[in-house]
Amino acid sequence: MAQTRILPPADNAYQYPLLIKQLLLSGPRYSPDQEIVYANRSKYTYTDLVERIHRLANALTDAGVKPGDTVAVMDWDTPRYLECFFAVPMIGAVLHTINVRLSPDQIVYTMNHAEDDVVLVHDDFLPILESVKGEIKTVKTYIQLTDEASAKPAQLATAGEYEAMLASAKTEFDFPDFDENSIATTFYTTGTTGNPKGVYFSHRQLVLHTMAMTGSLSVHDEMPLLRSSSVYMPVTPMFHVHAWGVPYAATMMGIKQVYPGRYEPELLVDLLKEHKVTFSHCVPTIMQMMMGTESIKTADLSNWHVLIGGSALTKGLCDAGAKLGIHMYTAYGMSETCPLLSATHLTPEDMELPLEQQTAKRVKTGIAAPMVELEIVDPDGKPVPHDGEAKGEVVARAPWLTQSYFKEKEKGEELWQGGWLHTGDVASMEPDHTLVIKDRIKDVIKTGGEWLSSLDLENLISQHPAVAGAAVVGVPDEKWGERPHALVTLKPGEEASLEDIQNHLKQFVDSGEINKWAIPEQMDFVEDIPKTSVGKINKKLIRDQLK
Amino acid sequence: MAQTRILPPADNAYQYPLLIKQLLLSGPRYSPDQEIVYANRSKYTYTDLVERIHRLANALTDAGVKPGDTVAVMDWDTPRYLECFFAVPMIGAVLHTINVRLSPDQIVYTMNHAEDDVVLVHDDFLPILESVKGEIKTVKTYIQLTDEASAKPAQLATAGEYEAMLASAKTEFDFPDFDENSIATTFYTTGTTGNPKGVYFSHRQLVLHTMAMTGSLSVHDEMPLLRSSSVYMPVTPMFHVHAWGVPYAATMMGIKQVYPGRYEPELLVDLLKEHKVTFSHCVPTIMQMMMGTESIKTADLSNWHVLIGGSALTKGLCDAGAKLGIHMYTAYGMSETCPLLSATHLTPEDMELPLEQQTAKRVKTGIAAPMVELEIVDPDGKPVPHDGEAKGEVVARAPWLTQSYFKEKEKGEELWQGGWLHTGDVASMEPDHTLVIKDRIKDVIKTGGEWLSSLDLENLISQHPAVAGAAVVGVPDEKWGERPHALVTLKPGEEASLEDIQNHLKQFVDSGEINKWAIPEQMDFVEDIPKTSVGKINKKLIRDQLK
């Protein structure tokens, strides 16, 4: 280590630890009367938010929560959840955001693995817990959440209902200072194999993620996402990577926030219209559902900017959105990365391009965010050229990456190799620093000694006018090692055959985008493509079903 | 300390230290071809900037600079200086930005006190060093900077000329990781009493300051300072609190930067016009000089946003600027605070107000920046009410405050009391969290048991149409303890008497803004008001002269 100069502080000097409580300082100062909306149910101000966070801290403490405890939440996307984002870590406890879309068995697995002490549970999810009641090992206290006048009668003994507890709690809590490396949040990744794995983020990591996100979503005039006049509505769930961390950034800056509760497409579109939402983040599936509603046809969406993540933004979806006025961009990250790694970056010159060429840029994985280092490496960990052609595994460094998997030392050591987090994604890097994800390493189709990107193929298939969606996996083949097999869903009332799709793909062979051997001989036309609990194509399941 | 949960990282996990080298990652990725301009002399791209920083690191290392060494710079505001902002700390050395406006004796004092090892000195400042040559104790190496074809012949033995050294240096430097608490920069505050005091900032502090600044200068639509389409030109010197830290923020985001070299008003206005500068920071004196030029009359300044600091932005200056189209805002901070503490915050409603009422808000000290805690306290350190009336000393916490004064333990302990940095400023806090600085504690006029703000009085006097500037100090008075004494400068060709000014002030007595006893009986009409080396009114000197 270099012998740099480090000086001792004066007596009494405050050595500022980075803590989540500091993210709550500026928003309420800038915009005390700014609104936080809960669907079509209720709204309150930033001043109210601060008071409710103090009340919640008192209520939790009264219920026995201590620093170091784990407090789990099972809720829809609500301002209550936002309150938990702050109050739980601010008292020194760990917030476990439970993925309510997992199976009851997986949910109880994550609760036991995280060693949850307290669970805040919405009426709607109470039956899940009641069904696995005997298997829950560490929970001492349940607190009920409800959207009705009073909570549902529960079989589980509960300490009370959230609103009632807040109402009787004191309005001021003296939030302590502590080590900035204290764990603030944890949640479980939903891999397609094995048990869910716990990732976790410290106060320091979340503060740095929030600060970098605020800058990078605010500064670009070509992508004005987080501005004081923005209206933010999350459309990826709050249990999943803290809704990409945007609620922290929006709160820090005092921006209007709209929480939709349940993800019902008609409701979401109504909220977009009513509150003139300007900024969301979303996965392609939900975006497609929203775009399929009747009510979207009468919405003015020309000021709606949407980061698309989770799965790749396809050209088809981006173009269809643009026809409705929606500005879509790609964001890249994963549970392990808090999540922000990179996002679309448009230059002023890009904005002057015809839409079709803009789309080509918007669907790319984008440019690394501030403070992030991205590299693409070969199996030996050596960087491959940034020529837009060479493929390598994406590895990352940033101040906010999970430092391991909770209680899974070996898996943590697979994740971190040589001081880089290995994403499991395969990408090329263009000379202008734009990352283009090609596939998951395990989904790449190895055919005839070449790597074929299942993602590229899905993209091209979905450009056929009759196609609604596509999934491509590699299936074993005696001659070629693997061959691509496609599942295709068609738009309502549309028809297409294997030959139609193959003919459609031939144009991309002619234009040099793919090789002839990339065209699948095997294709199933299906009603639905299997998805994981977070809406990604479940290729593991598809491969299993095709066996 | 609360018993929170802290988990060990996986083997090989990278624990990201916050280092200045990371501020250089994103700008060149976002905008490789963006320009960095040196007045009307030269320009280059962000890609060039990165290469030049690598070359400079090699050149310095070749000249013997090691981690922990101190490298001082005496230069005008140039892209060279920006290169030093990065390269010197990035190799683990400390950058000492010498205040070239100090007297030669003070300069050599700061050089010896900081223990400078290497000095980069511009031709124009060589005579200063040569005049005190025998007193310089620690410098081993001098490097010359020039704007001519070759450097001036020097009496001091020099290691070479900057451009020549860069030209022959290698293009790649492997910047090391080290402790984020390593000191990155140091410089000396210019108090009116005693020797200059050294403040210092660590890599961690500068990274956090940059990240918070980027968010807070980007996000507000009512104050759009730092945006990707901005053109930034500093108009406070780079030796003074790293030009308020904005060069780091602008570089992180890949924004066009224009460095003016010398602060010649006509040159500054020409650069504003030529490069369509949108964002600057400035002290009132220089702004007044720019506004006094002929060429400004033909400039379109309607897109020029200026943070005013150093001294208070007066209503007179703000209004006069607005007539030229200039958007002025107040920024508050000091050498000890890196400097950002607070800035004007306008709401959308404010923007709809008549200009005069906007001015009233723009001249206030503003709202604390993200991550900053500001409080106003009585002499016992207890907070006083936030009612816009009660006055107290401003105390601060933020992640980027100097932790002491270099080698001045006792002064550091005066600065830090009870875990708060004491600014020495007296202010009130309005219920909407707006800070309003009233005075320096030592400049407050204690008359008849009341505190009278010298700053308020200067403001009101300067609203008289004939007045160009005013300074008010307290002078001893047998009956009242102290009485205000004003120095007044008049605009060219204008006249005013003591009675005229007193009559002008009476309207503010009638409107309740000041008490009758605030009107000074003593007033001198002078050619110039004494200023310090950084352009602040030198009240110490005025008081001494009046004795």
- A407 a catalytic residue: no
The tens digit of pLDDT for each residue in A153-208 reads 989 889 999 999 999 999 999 999 999 999 999 999 976 667 899 999 999 999 99
Report yes or no: A30 at the B interface, CB cutoff 8 Å: yes
Residue B235 covered by a domain: no
Q: Note the pLDDT of residue B62.
A: 97
Looking at the structure of chain A, the number of domains it has is: 3
For A237-287, write each residue's pLDDT tens digit: 999 999 999 999 999 999 999 999 999 999 999 999 999 999 999 999 899
Q: Give the pLDDT of residue A446.
A: 82
CA–CA min distance A230, chain B (Å): 9
Residues 260-319 of chain B with CB under 8 A from chain A are: none
Mean of the per-residue pLDDT values of chain B? 94
Q: How many CA atoms lie within 13 A of A332 on its CB side?
A: 30
A367 reaches B (C-beta below 8 A):
yes
pLDDT of residue A441: 87
- Domain co-membership, A299 together with A365: yes
| Owner of token pair 């031709």 | B123
Tokens of B289: 């000089």
In terms of domains, do B174 and B278 share one?
A: no
Write down the pLDDT at residue A193. 65
pLDDT at B393 over 90: yes
- Torsion sign across C-alpha atoms A197, A333, A311, A80: positive
Compute the average pLDDT of residues B511-538. 88
B contact residues 234-253, partner A, Cβ 8 Å cutoff: 252-253
Q: Dihedral of CA A291/A293/A294/A298: which sign?
A: negative
**The pLDDT of residue A534:** 67
Give residue A505's domain range. 445-546
Q: Taking residues A354-374, what's their average pLDDT? A: 93
Domain-embedded: residue B114? yes
Maximum Cα–Cα distance across chain A: 78
Instruction: Tell me: pLDDT of B190 over 80.
Output: no
**Which of B5, B117, B185, B433 to mutate against chain A (most A CBs within 10 Å)?**
B5
- Name the burial class of residue B468, with classes exposed (0-12), middle (13-18) and buried (19+) by CB atoms within 10 angstroms of its CB: middle
Of residues B13, B222, B370, nearest to A404 (C-beta): B13
Q: Which helix (H) or strand (E) holds B498?
A: helix B498-510
Whether A515 and A493 map to the same domain: the answer is: yes
Return the closest-CA partner of residue B201 out of B187, B212, B191.
B187
Q: Are residues B436 and B451 in the same domain?
A: no
Q: Which of B414, B451, B506, B521 is catalytic?
A: B451
Catalytic residue from among A45, A189, A293, A489: A189
**B-chain residues within 8 Å CB-CB of A215?**
211, 214-215, 218, 252-253
The reply to whether B189 belongs to the active site is: yes
Same domain, B295 and B434: yes
Q: Tell me the two tokens of residue B348.
A: 């959308």
**A422 band by pLDDT with thresholds 50, 70 and 90:** very high
pLDDT band at B192 (very low <50, low <70, confident <90, very high): low
Tokens 């009956």, residue? B479
Computed from CA positions of residues A134, A135, A140, A142, in that sequence, does the dihedral angle turn out positive or negative? Answer: negative
Does one domain contain both A456 and A400? no
Please list every residue in chain B whose beta carbon sits closer than 8 Å to the beta carbon of residue A202.
6
pLDDT-derived band at A2, boundaries 50, 70, 90: confident
Task: Enter the tokens of residue A74.
Answer: 């099972």
pLDDT at B214: 95
Q: How far is CA B135 from CA B106, B113, B193, in A?
A: 11, 12, 22
- Residues B424 and B355 both lie in one domain: yes
pLDDT-based confidence at residue B193 (cuts at 50, 70, 90): low
- For residue B333, being part of any structural domain is answered with yes
Which pLDDT value is given to residue A332? 97
Closest CB from B12, B15, B16 relative to A417: B12
| Last residue within a domain, chosen from A181, A202, A223 | A202
How would you class B109 by CB atoms within 10 Å of its CB: exposed for 0-12, middle for 13-18, buried for 19 or more?
middle
Q: Which residue has the higher pLDDT, A514 or B333?
A: B333
Q: How far apart are CA A326 and CA B1, in angstroms?
A: 49
pLDDT of residue A275: 98
Weakest-pLDDT range from A343-347, A513-517, B172-176, B387-391: A513-517
Q: How far apart are CA A242 and CA A254, in angstroms?
A: 18
Q: Is A258 contained in some domain?
A: no
Over the stretch A280-329, which tens digit does the pLDDT of each residue have?
999 998 999 999 999 999 999 999 999 999 888 989 899 999 999 999 99
| Higher per-residue pLDDT: A18 or B456 | A18
Picking from B410, B440, B470, the residue at the C-terminal end of a domain is B440
Span B440-469, average pLDDT: 87
Nearest chain B residue (CA) to A92:
B4
| A478 and A436 co-located in one domain | no
B7 interfaces chain A, CB cutoff of 8 Å: yes
User: Given this model, what pLDDT does residue B223 score?
Assistant: 93
**How does pLDDT run across B409-426, given as a tens digit for each residue?**
999 999 999 999 999 999
Q: What tokens appear for A463 in the block?
A: 């450009």
Per the CB < 8 A criterion, the answer to whether A283 and A535 are in contact is yes
Top residue of A3, A6, A14 to mutate, by most chain B CBs within 10 Å, is A14
Give the active site residue among B45, B158, B189, B489: B189
Q: What is the ipTM of this complex?
A: 0.91
Q: Quick check: A80 pLDDT over 90?
A: yes
Q: In chain B, how long is the greatest CA-to-CA distance?
A: 79
Q: What is the mean pLDDT of residues B446-457?
A: 83
Q: Which of A440, A475, A499 is the last residue of a domain?
A: A440
Cα–Cα distances (Å) from B276 to B233, B257, B335, B407, in that order, read 10, 11, 29, 44
Chain B residues inside the 8 Å CB shell of A407: none
Q: Report percent pLDDT > 90 for chain A.
A: 85
For residues B185 and A462, the model is more confident at B185
Same domain, B455 and B308: no
Residues of B with CB below 8 A from A369's CB?
Answer: 26
Residues B88 and B170 grouped into a single domain: yes
Using CA atoms, how far apart are residues A487 and A482, in angstroms rounded to an integer?
Answer: 16
Instruction: Give the pLDDT score at A210.
Output: 98
CA distance A413 to chain B (A): 6
Return the higher-pLDDT residue of B547 and B211: B211
Q: In angstroms, what CA-CA distances link B331 with A30, B213, B282?
A: 15, 12, 10
The token pair that represents B343 in the structure block: 């800035």
For residue A404, give the nearest of B7, B229, B421 by CB distance: B7
The whole-model pTM stands at 0.92
CB contact under 8 A, B182 and A371: no
State the Cα–Cα distance between residues B459 and B290, nearest whole angstrom: 20
Q: Which of residues 97-156 of A touch B (CB under 8 A)?
A: none
In a domain, A233, yes or no: no
Question: How close does chain A come to B240, measured CA to CA in Å?
Answer: 21
Mean pLDDT over all residues of chain A? 94
A214 domain-assigned = no
- Percentage helix, strand, coil for chain A under 3-state DSSP, each rounded to 5: 35, 25, 40
| Same domain, yes or no: A66 and A194 | yes
Q: In the β-sheet with A327-333, what is the strand arrangement from edge to edge?
A: A42-45, A35-38, A256-259, A231-232, A279-282, A305-308, A327-333, A340-343, A367-368
In a domain? residue B246:
no
Q: Are residues A410 and A358 in the same domain?
A: yes
Lowest mean pLDDT among B77-86, B131-140, B341-350, B447-456: B447-456
Residue B312 has a pLDDT of 86
Query: What is the share, in percent, of chain B residues with pLDDT greater than 70?
Result: 99
pLDDT of A473 reads 95
Task: Report whether pLDDT(A514) > 90.
Answer: no
Is the pLDDT reported for residue A225 higher than 90?
yes
Give the DSSP letter of residue A268. H
Sign of CA dihedral A339, A342, A343, A348: positive
Q: pLDDT digits over B52-69, tens only?
A: 999 999 999 999 999 999
**A446 noted as active-site residue:** yes
The residues in A 371-390 lying below 8 A from B, measured between CB atoms, are 371-373
Confirm whether B217 is domain-assigned: no
